[in-house]
């Protein structure tokens, strides 16, 4: 859901204030745990489908948003089979899927800059401006650099394969972490270079 990309649009869902969307997301997720049951889950699912339709998000983008989480959902399902029965396992997995899709609806209909700005403003009420800015900047960097880290991982994996190293996790993870950290260093410098009006970012 963090890598879901913004889909431009002018629907009510797109125009809604980012903090209202974040608040609703929080409420829906909480409600799904407090009012545990198939009826609540079905109601939340229907509301979510309606919002996706209003926002005119193409179904293939919705599928793309949930696809990276499928293996986690599969693991949860198998674990629940051992702990309970298949009905409860199905319920738990569907509940997670609804929550992931609800979070995806937020990122698909909200520009990152608007979301970050809203979070910064909200945090600014309870934290010093410097901390609020640092947290919101960290959030926006997460959204930007998850695809970058994934690219680095793919590059390292292909390089190891080309060298016939097979699937050694150590050979994969170590260079990925080293390259990601080196990138992080350079990104920090770039942020400083691009923030001459905000020396507090330093």
Residues engaged in binding another protein (CB under 8 A):
5-6, 8, 111-113, 140-141, 143-144, 147-148, 151, 183, 186-187, 189-199
d(CA 141, CA 145): 6
CA–CA dist 109, 7 (Å, integer)? 6
Radius of gyration of the chain (CA): 20
CA–CA gap between residue 193 and residue 187 (Å, rounded): 10
Reading the block at residue 133, the tokens are 């800015």
Cα gap 118→103, rounded to integer Å: 16
- Dist CA 170 CA 71 (whole Å): 22
Nearest approach, Cβ of residue 57 and another protein (Å): 16
Least CB distance from residue 76 to another protein, whole Å? 28
Task: Pick between residue 87 and residue 148 the one whose CB is nearest to another protein.
Answer: 148
Q: How far is the CB of 40 from another protein (least distance, A)?
A: 33
Query: CB of 154: closest distance to another protein in angstroms?
Result: 12
Alpha-carbon span 197 to 201, nearest angstrom: 9
């Amino acid at each position: 859901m963090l890598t879901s990309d913004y889909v431009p649009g002018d629907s009510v869902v797109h125009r809604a204030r980012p903090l209202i969307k974040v608040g609703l997301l929080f409420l829906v997720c909480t409600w799904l745990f407090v009012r545990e049951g198939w009826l609540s889950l079905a109601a939340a699912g229907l509301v979510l489908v309606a919002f996706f339709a209003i926002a005119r998000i193409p179904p293939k983008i919705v599928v793309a948003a949930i696809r990276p989480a499928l293996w986690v959902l599969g693991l949860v399902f198998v674990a629940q089979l051992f702990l309970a029965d298949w009905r409860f396992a199905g319920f738990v997995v569907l509940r997670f899927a609804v929550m992931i899709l609800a979070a995806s609806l937020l990122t698909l209909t909200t520009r990152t800059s608007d979301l970050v700005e809203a979070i910064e403003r909200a945090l600014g009420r309870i934290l010093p401006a410097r901390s609020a800015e640092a947290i919101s900047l960290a959030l926006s960097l997460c959204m930007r650099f998850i695809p970058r880290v994934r690219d680095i991982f793919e590059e390292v994996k292909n390089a190891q394969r080309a060298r016939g190293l097979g699937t050694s996790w150590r050979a994969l993870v170590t260079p990925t972490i080293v390259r990601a950290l080196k990138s992080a260093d350079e990104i920090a410098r770039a942020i400083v270079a691009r923030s001459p009006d905000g020396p507090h970012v330093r």
